[in-house]
Every structure is written in structure tokens, then in C-alpha cells.
Structure 1
Amino acid sequence: MTYRGLVLIALMFMVIVSSVAQRNGVIWGRITDEDSGDRFPFATVTLKKDGQMLPIGTVSDNEGTFKLSGLQYGTYDVLVSFIGYKTHIVEKVILTKEKPRINLGDVTIALTNVDLEEVKVSAMGNTVSTKIDRKTYRAEDFSTARGGTAVDVLNKLPSVSVSSNGEVSVRGTTDFMVYLNGKPTQMEPSMLLAQIAGANIQNIDVITVPTAKYDAQGKGGIININTKKNGLEGFSISANGKLGASPWANKTDKYDGYHMKDDRYGSGINLMYGINKLALYGAFNYNKKNVNGARTGKASVWDYDLQKYKHMDATGERPEWYEYYSANAGVDYQLSKNTQLSASYFFGDRTEGRSAFYVYHNYYGDESNVDAEKYIYNPNTDNRYGKFHTGNVDFSTKFGQNATLRISLLYEHSDLSRRLDNKNYGYDKYGDVPGEIEQHYSQSDDTPLDAYRFSVDYSKELANGNTIGIGLQPQFFQIDGAFSYDTSEVVNGVELGMFDYETLENAIDLNRGVYAAYIDYSGSIHQLKYMLGLRLEYTDQRMKIANPDYFTLFEREKKARYEVNQLDWFPTVHATYPVGETSQLSLAASRRISRPPIKNMAPFLYRRHLEVYEVGDPDLESEYINNVELGLEKRFGKHKVGITGFYRGVENAIFRVNTTYQKEVVLIRSYTNSGDSRSLGLELNANLQAGNMAKFFIGGSVYDYRVKGDIFGYQADNSSVNWSLKGNANLILTRELKFSADMDVKSSTVTAQGQNDLFYMTNAALDYAPKKMKNWSFSFRLLDILGSNNKGLDTRAFDKDGLEIFYQETEYNRAGPIAEISVSYAFRNGKSQSKTKKTVGDREF
């Protein structure tokens, strides 16, 4: 299905729906804080008619404005709400043919003195809400993730998965852009998500089909993390601390002596001070997590010279560690009633790594007829480091009631590096002890990055009530990368020192400019609300390679310089249409691009284990993605159920491909554009309530997934019916005690060269806010209750003649269950208002 087909489907949908539409009422206004008079963003606006809540609503924008379009003529109550504030109800708003447009003007909301009964009511809000271009999930409903990071919260959301290395996927598709408080960032998801404390997250937007004003980069779409933003006039402070461990899993590797202590701890503090038109804020967060684990695996590699398989069976401990700290500071200043200036700075320091202490049993033949048997002990450690500096300045102004101008400038500098150390020892299987060292390899790279982004966005409401927006968003980044490959000369078990392996060493210089412009138009035709957009992006990219005779898996011309000069256009269509008083139909369609990250392009050869090497491909090209979604949301009293049909097709798809390296008869992997992939299925979201004491959220998906491609001459065509199921329960046991639990089940799924196995996990949490200890709260969490955090991978490859040249079966087992306890304290001294914090980083880590 091409993008022309997507646009045609969208236009047909709009024509059909608009042909049966009858009315076109509009209600709009602006929300302000009663105490401070400031504009109030992110407030929820909903409608009642004849005493029934309608599945129609919106959220106020950064200026506090809102608009509800496509309404039937009649009498409505307008409800404005925000957590911690009294719900303001504007009663008996009447839309008629003679008066179809109503401006409510300024609608004020005031702080409430929250007692325990009111806490119960607010806790029963929907876990997920749907807007024209996104689904928004309330982070507070996922209590088991509160002691972790944004990664842990994301893993609770339906159809979303985050792998152990931080790779985000939705409905089987990876490569998401991550936004923070609506601001784009180049930071790799694993880096940014790991530096946001779960306790600081207000909600998460999952935007699978973004509108034209957002970057077209990212084949999966956009995940926007909204952090808590409640400020005040006066001073506020919040602090938290966490301790956790799985002490029953602590152990020491018997060969290396490495002590694996499965523990985690962290802390954070947030400060804010506001006076008159000025707000100052700052924060510091620290988190460290050690994860004990083990790996078992079998690999069989075809030896073309001997015409038989070489087997490499491995088992051993595999501990992981993650440590980060971050600090940010900022200032917001209200220059006038309609103009605001903001500036912020963010610093992050991130380390993640793993060690592997594997004993390999290498042999030819089979287990009953072993030939050329050899045992090897292979300890290796892989660390990645990142230091991130980001500064940005934002200016926004409003012209009257109808036009808004926003200007933003962002600068990033990141120091990114990687260190891998890999040793091979002989091994005495009878004495169960390592022998003398036989080989020692060390690889490292340093890739500092500088990035700039400038954006100018202008929107204006037209006389007919519709809105047009235009913008320019150029961005540029540069990466200089140097790679070192060292080996140690070993004589009779003695290392004589490390020496450069010059033929494998390299350096790269990547410059990428993306010059973007967009236009969008939103409005309504009777009850049909729509948003049409077109985005143009011109990519100007140059990559220089210092050693053009680099190592590669592909038989093609090697070059010292690779260039991309490409103009692309990306149409988007969004539409919603009410079906009766309790249901809503929606459609979204878009075309997107996924430009490969430098880590998959750099021709740096890494020896990850004894049997696995990895190298990038500088000839990678961009992927193109076509998306279509058709959804229906229906409310049953307090319950709300939504179902979405979706199609995602990826052209020129990049696969991580594996083959054999016959010089050493081992596995080696790289990345290449080798085919296409497709996902077609359904997604479910259900908010269910049981009185005022319990609510349940169920989300899941089922879809047909297919990957087709030419992989080293072999025509792969793999498909599977994939499904996932996630559930979340929140129960108020007493006025001070809340219980929550969740589950996560994902089916097995095919890959380009194999299959990932079934996965499941359960967690639970108790939250306690003692009445006698005002401002304090405590939480106890039990994670991975069943000890099921295991991941199985099967991979196989064939040559162009159909011969199976390798088969690999691997299982990773991570320790569990894990117990965590955390405590938090929050103090406020002043009147509330709303301020926004912004941080950004670099996705290329």
C-alpha cells in the first residue's frame, strides 16, 4: 500500500462521513488559575448532555485555550478539571442553528482542599484517554513502575515493549522518537528514558500516527513523556528515595570471582520557586540498578572447508548494570499577558554495561560423536558511556485571541563512548577451572556529538473557526567517531602487551542536516473534526570514512564518502466523528521516514562474545513507513472501551542480519536494507470501574506480522500471528492504603531470521499515605513475582542455495522476584500555577 493509497482512503472516509453529518456547533474558551490569573495548560475539558457524559473532550494547550468542534445542536454542561483542583462546571451552554458558536471566555479553576474522599474520586479517573492524534496514559495508575524510570512505565502500556537494551517497540515495530514535555529530542530512547524517574512522570502520550507539525523521523511514531509541572507562587520541594534488591539471587562467579549483588537504589529532589511573573526550578536525580542473570545457548555454524557443523555451546553468568544521574535548571518569565520567555539547561551522565562469564564447549559432529573438542572460558565486559549537555531557549507570544507564534532554539553536546574487553582462556573441564590466557581483544570508540535545532511555528484561527498552522524546523548534527581495535600478543600464557590492529581501526565524520517545513489545517464539517497536514523534509547527509578498506559482510563497492541528498514529502490525515451520544469513530493515516542511526552505520568491528561479532554498514538507506488506523471508542456508563484496527507497512526495511565468518567459523551480524515488513491487526483499550473503590485497565493487541527480504541471497518470508495482553488493577483498601497489580504477556514472534519466545511477568505494589504524617508517602513493590523474566531467542540463516549455515538458540534468565521500598516527601508553600520543564538530549548513544 503506497502513501497515495493512504491519502485516498482518508479522503474517502471524510467524504462519506461528512455526507451524513447534520450539525456543526463549536464551544471554545480559555482556562485560567483563579488565584494567580495565569493561563492553565493541560486541563481536561469534557461535556455532559442530558445528565450523560459524552465521549467528546479535549485538553487545554500551553496557552490554556481549548475548542470543542463538530457538536450537535442542543444544551450542554462543560466540565473543566485538573488533579488537585475543583471541577468547574459551566451549565446550560445552548447551541442552535442561529447561534452555533459559543465563546465561554475565561473559565477559572481553583485549588481544592483535598480530603481522602476526594482522593478516592480522583483515583478513579480513566487510565487512558484518546484524542484525535494520540492515546494518553496516566502514570500514577502504574504504581509498580514508580520506583523505576520511564522505561518501567512504558513497559506497562499496551502494545509497547522495551527490551533489556532500551529499544522501544510498538506492535512489533521499533524506532520511536522520544519527546519530553512536547519538545523533540535527538537522544536515543534508552538514554533519555533511563534518566527520567518514574515518580516524576505525569502521563505518557503514545502517538502512533503523528501530525505534520512533528518530525517525520521514527517508523513507530512518537512517545511524549510529560513530567509533573505543578508550580506555585512561593516555594515547593519534593524528594524521594528508593532501595531494592533480590538478595536471594546474590552470587559470585566461581571462575572470575566477580561478586554479583542484585540491588538498586536511587533518590531525587525537585525545587521550584515562583513570584509574580517569574518561576525558577531545578532538579537532581540519581538511580543505580544491578541485574543478575545467566545465559545458556547453543550455536551451530557450517564449516564450508570441513563440510560439517562446528558447535559452540555456552553457559554462564551475565550480570548487567545501569547507573545515571541528571540535573536540570530553568527559568520561565512572563514578559506580558500574552508573551513568555523560557530557558533551561539539562545535564545527564549515563553508564550501562554487562559482563559475560561463559564457558564454551566447542566441537564438531554431535554430542554422541564429538570431534575436535575444545573448552574455552570467555569473560568479556561491554560498557557504554554518555555525558549529555543540552540548553534551549523558547519564546512564545499570542496576537489577540486568534494567532500564536513560538520560536525555539536548542543546542546539544554529547560525549559518547564504548569500551569492550574480551578474553579467551583455556579451560579444564575435569577440574572445572580456567587455564592460561590464549587471546585478548579490546575495542573502543569515542563519538562526540554536536546538534542544533531551530523552529518557528505560527498558528492562526480563521474567521470560520478553523485553524491553520505553518512552521520551519531545520536541524543539524555532527558526529566524529574514532574506533580502536587492539589485540594482545600472548606467548605461553603470558601477555606481552596490547597492540593496534591497524587494518580494523577506523574513524568516521557524519554531518546530517534535515531542513523541514510543514503546513496543517484543522477544522470541522458538521460533526466531522479533521486535521490535514503536509510536511517537507530535505536530507543533506555526508559521511566520511578514514579507512575505506573497512571490514564488511557485503559484496559491494567500498567508498570513503557516502552522501544522501533527498527531498521527501509526508502527508497526514486525522479525523473523528461521533456515532450517537456515547461513541466516536476515528481515522488516521500518515507516511514517515526512519533514517539509520550512526551506531548501525559505523564500520566498527566488535567481538561481542567468543562466537558473535558485530559490524555496521555505512551503505544503509532510510526506511519509509505507511500507517493507517481506524478506531471506535464507546462509553458504557463509567466504563470506556476502545478498539483500533491498524496497518503498518515498512518499505526498504532495515534488518539485523546474521551470517558466518568462515575465517574463524563464527557468527557475525550487521544491518542492511533487505526487504519489507508488515503489521495488520487490532488493538484493545478498556477502562473498567467497580464503584469508587476499584478500577481496572486491560489493553492488548493481536496482529499478523510478516517480514520478507533478500538476506545474503536467501529469500526469507516469515510470518506469525502475534498477540499481547496487559492488565492493571488499582484498589483503594482504606483511606490511607492503595493496592495495585499488573501483568504483561507477549506471544512469540518471528524475526527476519528466527523467532523470539513467549514472555510474561507480574508485579504488585502497596502505597501508604499516613494521615498523621502529612506530605509523606511510602510504597512497597514486589516485581517479577513469578521469577519469569526470561527471554528466549532462536536465530537461523541460510545461504543462497538454501543450506542452513547456522542455528543459534539462546535464553537469558534475569533474577527475580525483586523487592523495593520507597519514600517520598512533598511540601508546598504558596498558590499553584502551571509551569513546564523541558530537557533534551541525543539519540545516537
Structure 2
Amino acid sequence: MPIGQLQAGYQFRYLNHIGDFFYERKNNETGKFELVPEFSSEVNLNRLIHSGFIQLDKSINKWTYGAGVRVELMNRDFRLQDKTGTLDTLYQYDYIRPFFSGNLAYQAKDDLKLFLNFSQRVERETTFKMNPFPEREHSETLEQGDPNVLPEFINQLEGGLVTNWKDNSFYVTAYYNRVKNLVNRVNTVYNDTILNRIYSNVGTGESIGLEMGNELFLSQKWKAYLGGNIYHYAIKGEFDNRPVNQAAWVYSFNFNTSVNITSTLSTQFTFNYLSSRVTAQGEDSRFYQPSLNVKKTFIDGRLTLNFQWQNIDMGLLKSNEQRITTFRPREFFTTTNYIYEVDMLILNLSYTINSSKNRSKFVKSEFGEKEF
């Protein structure tokens, strides 16, 4: 009996980021701009990754299973220099470790599938979150990174079911997620009126929850999707020699509905909501975004008029708005309400000269997707 489908491969990645940051302040007496050394720096990040993987997949009757392992070797060199010639430090970090994955599925019926998945992955931090030289975010905050920040190692276990009837579908997934070396935005005191905002490891984050989604075709012209997620989130660890112990329930839901009013006129409404959630030193408030899209086509679909109303607010809601609060008892308390653009009206008119489909396929780069 064949063992199944066996895959193996190797991947090589190299990243080099060079930064040269000059901060200058105008001298009102001389009228010249002078270097501010505490904000100016040179950074050079070199990251070399070798990884190899092997994956086995097989199907037996109603069962489908797979297992794999990826072994990764990473070497990270981060050189930091100041502009006065007094600092020249090389921060080095490397590891070689395996990342395991596995999946198991059972097709109980034609319209019912059960599954169980396990995966391990790594999330590496960007150069911005590693540069310890501060930059002035605004009058009350200096923002900086941690040159010793460690990558996040993530373990995830999930299991659930997917069922279908006619064109409709429903899924439910229970999951457990654990993040080692969790990176959070934290604060320390710079002086009486200014805080240091730092991106650093704060410990371990754990989530256990349940996610559900339902896609319904209410008629030939009307379909809708409603999904929700509720989980308990906890952070345990330490930062700046202080314990971190935060926990709370978090929930979110997504609603999407679209109607084909005529063969050439359609509309879609979307609403995404995320509840408040704890951080290592405080809380990020709820956040939601309603939007509406109306599409009209002419000339056999060649001419398209598209209207978008993003972040619907009308002065009645608090769309695209979030309050971020951090504090340390008897040391500092800061809260900022970030209000982004609302009621954005976008009108787009396009004409397709050649209606043939573009079959070109492009490979997405991880560097373009995540590094910047």
C-alpha cells in the first residue's frame, strides 16, 4: 500500500536593512540646524535563514491526514551605532529548531466534515521594533525598539466541523493558541511629561476560544455571512523587572450581505466589530468599521461605476475610532483616543477595453508582505 504523497523542499532567505537616521534641531541664535545625538543612529540588520521541510499526506476511505516538520536555522546580526562615535554594538541572535504540523480530517457525510489541526510557526519582528534610539512620536511620547527582542514562537491547536446544505454552509472551530516571547507595546517614564513607548517581549500570551461562521443564500439575489469569535486571552510574564498578569474575555463578529438588485446593479454592506482587549499595561478599546459598496455596470459589463462609503459614521457613531490606555500604578497613566478618517466617499469609473481574463499569476513575497 502506498505511503501517500511525500513532499520535501528547501528555502533560503536573506534580509539586509540599512538605516541612517539624522535628527536635527534649529538653533534659534545661529539659525542653523544642529544634530540631536540622542535621537540619531545608524542601524544595519542582517538576517540569514535556511529552512528545509518534509510533508506526508494520505487519504484512506473517509480519513485524510498529514504530518510534517520544517527545520529552520536563523542567524540575526543587528549592528547599532550612534553619530558621535561612542557607541558601536553588535547584537547577535541565532537558533536552529523544528516546527511541526499535523492535520486529521474525517468525512462523516457528504455534507459534514470533522477536522483537527496543529501547527507551529514563528513571527519575526521588523527593524523598526529593534532600534533603541527613540523618535518623537508626539509631544508626550518617544517611540523606540528593543535590540534584544526575540521572535514570537506560536503553537496552535484547533478542531471543529464544517457542514453544508444546498448552497449554505456553517462551521464551528474550537482552538487554543500559545505565543512565547509575546511582543507588546509598553511604556516607561522618560521625564515628568514624556513617556518612552517601547516594543518588547513581555512573556507568554494564551488564547482559548470558539469561532463560528454561517454563509446563507437567502435567495438567488441575496446572500449573507455572519461570523463570530469569542475567546479568553491571558498574558503572563514580566517587563522592566515588573510582573505582567493580564486576562480578559474578547469577542468579535463580522457581518456581510450583498444583494444583486438587477443584473447590472449590486450592493454590499459590511460591518466588522472587535471588542476591547487587554495589553501588558492596559487596554485597547472596541473598534468597528461599517462600509457600503454600490456597483453599476454598463455596455455589457465593460463600463463599471463603483461607489464606496467607507467607515460610515455620520456624526452618530464612533466608527474607525479606538482608545488606547496604558498605566503603571503610582507612576503614570496615559490614554489617547485615536480618531481616523470616517465617511470616506469614493467614486470610481473604469472601462475595460479587452474583456478577456488575465491568467497571469504572480508569486507573493514574504518580504513585501511582512517586512515593511
Instruction: Sort the Cα spacing of 1:511 and 1:759 in 2 relative to 1 into closer, same or farther, 3 A.
Output: closer
Q: How does 1:403-482 map to 2 (within 5 A)?
A: 464=2, 466-482=4-20
Q: In the alignment, does 2:211 pair up with 1:676? A: no
Deviations 1:797-830 (A, max 9, x none): 32xxxx4311112112234322222122224377
Deviation of residue 839 (structure 1)?
5.2
Q: In the alignment, does 2:27 pair up with 1:489? A: yes
Deviation of residue 790 (structure 1)?
4.2
| Counterpart position of 1:838 | 363
Deviation of residue 794 (structure 1)?
3.7
For the residue of structure 2 that corresponds to 1:599, the secondary structure is helix
Q: Normalized against structure 2, the TM-score is what?
A: 0.91
Q: Percent identity?
A: 24
Deviation of residue 716 (structure 1)?
2.2
Instruction: Sort the Cα spacing of 1:783 and 1:621 in 2 relative to 1 into closer, same or farther, 3 A.
Output: closer
Instruction: Sort the Cα spacing of 1:665 and 1:779 in 2 relative to 1 into closer, same or farther, 3 A.
Output: closer
For the residue of structure 1 that corresponds to 2:31, the secondary structure is strand
Unaligned segments of structure 1, at least 5 residues: 1-462, 552-557
Deviations 1:256-290 (A, max 9, x none): xxxxxxxxxxxxxxxxxxxxxxxxxxxxxxxxxxx
Give, in whole Å, the separation in 2 of the partners of 1:566 and 1:818: 46
Give, in whole Å, the separation in 1 of the partners of 2:53 and 2:83: 38
Instruction: Sort the Cα spacing of 1:813 and 1:829 in 2 relative to 1 into closer, same or farther, 3 A.
Output: closer
For the residue of structure 1 that corresponds to 2:349, the secondary structure is strand
Q: In the alignment, does 2:325 pair up with 1:795? A: yes
Deviation of residue 519 (structure 1)?
0.4
Give, in whole Å, the separation in 2 of the partners of 1:730 and 1:790: 22
Give, in whole Å, the separation in 2 of the partners of 1:506 and 1:817: 40
Q: In the alignment, does 2:286 pair up with 1:758? A: yes
Q: In the alignment, does 2:42 pair up with 1:512? A: no
Question: Which residue, 802, 806, 810 being the options, matches 2:336?
Answer: 810
Higher relative contact order (CA 8 A, sep 6+): 1
Deviation of residue 675 (structure 1)?
1.0
Unaligned segments of structure 2, at least 5 residues: none
Deviations 1:688-746 (A, max 9, x none): 01121111111121111111221223222111111111111111112221121111221
Give, in whole Å, the separation in 1 of the partners of 2:147 and 2:223: 50
Instruction: Sort the Cα spacing of 1:784 and 1:547 in 2 relative to 1 into closer, same or farther, 3 A.
Output: closer
Q: How does 1:170-569 map to 2 (within 5 A)?
A: 464=2, 466-491=4-29, 496-547=31-82, 560-569=89-98
Give the aligned residue type for 1:795.
Answer: T
Question: Which residue, 122, 125, 128 being the options, matches 1:593?
Answer: 122
Contact 1:698 1:726 in 2 (8 A): yes
Deviations 1:637-663 (A, max 9, x none): 33110011111111121222101113x
Q: In the alignment, does 2:264 pair up with 1:726? A: no
Deviation of residue 548 (structure 1)?
11
Deviation of residue 636 (structure 1)?
2.6
Contact 1:606 1:613 in 2 (8 A): yes
Give the aligned residue type for 2:333.
Answer: Y
Give the aligned residue type for 1:483.
Answer: F
Q: Normalized against structure 1, the TM-score is what?
A: 0.41
Instruction: Sort the Cα spacing of 1:785 and 1:550 in 2 relative to 1 into closer, same or farther, 3 A.
Output: farther
For the residue of structure 1 that corresponds to 2:138, the secondary structure is coil
Deviation of residue 573 (structure 1)?
0.4
Give, in whole Å, the separation in 1 of the partners of 2:278 and 2:79: 36
Give, in whole Å, the separation in 2 of the partners of 1:478 and 1:510: 6
Deviations 1:497-553 (A, max 9, x none): 2101235432122211000100001012331111211000001222222249999xx
For the residue of structure 1 that corresponds to 2:129, the secondary structure is helix
Contact 1:699 1:725 in 2 (8 A): yes
Give the aligned residue type for 2:139.
Answer: L
Instruction: Sort the Cα spacing of 1:645 and 1:559 in 2 relative to 1 into closer, same or farther, 3 A.
Output: farther
Instruction: Sort the Cα spacing of 1:474 and 1:580 in 2 relative to 1 into closer, same or farther, 3 A.
Output: same
Instruction: Sort the Cα spacing of 1:550 and 1:782 in 2 relative to 1 into closer, same or farther, 3 A.
Output: farther
Give, in whole Å, the separation in 2 of the partners of 1:605 and 1:756: 23
Contact 2:42 2:83 in 1 (8 A): no
RMSD of Structure 2 on Structure 1 (CA): 2.4
Instruction: Sort the Cα spacing of 1:481 and 1:781 in 2 relative to 1 into closer, same or farther, 3 A.
Output: closer
Give the aligned residue type for 1:641.
Answer: F
| Counterpart position of 2:345 | 819
For the residue of structure 1 that corresponds to 2:148, the secondary structure is coil
| Counterpart position of 1:383 | none
| Counterpart position of 1:638 | 167
Give, in whole Å, the separation in 1 of the partners of 2:85 and 2:286: 38
For the residue of structure 2 that corresponds to 1:769, the secondary structure is strand
Question: Which residue, 256, 267, 272 being the options, matches 1:739?
Answer: 267
Contact 2:37 2:84 in 1 (8 A): no
Contact 1:548 1:560 in 2 (8 A): no
For the residue of structure 2 that corresponds to 1:823, the secondary structure is strand
Contact 2:62 2:108 in 1 (8 A): no
Give, in whole Å, the separation in 2 of the partners of 1:737 and 1:630: 40
Contact 1:746 1:759 in 2 (8 A): yes
Give the aligned residue type for 2:120.
Answer: R
Contact 1:503 1:550 in 2 (8 A): no
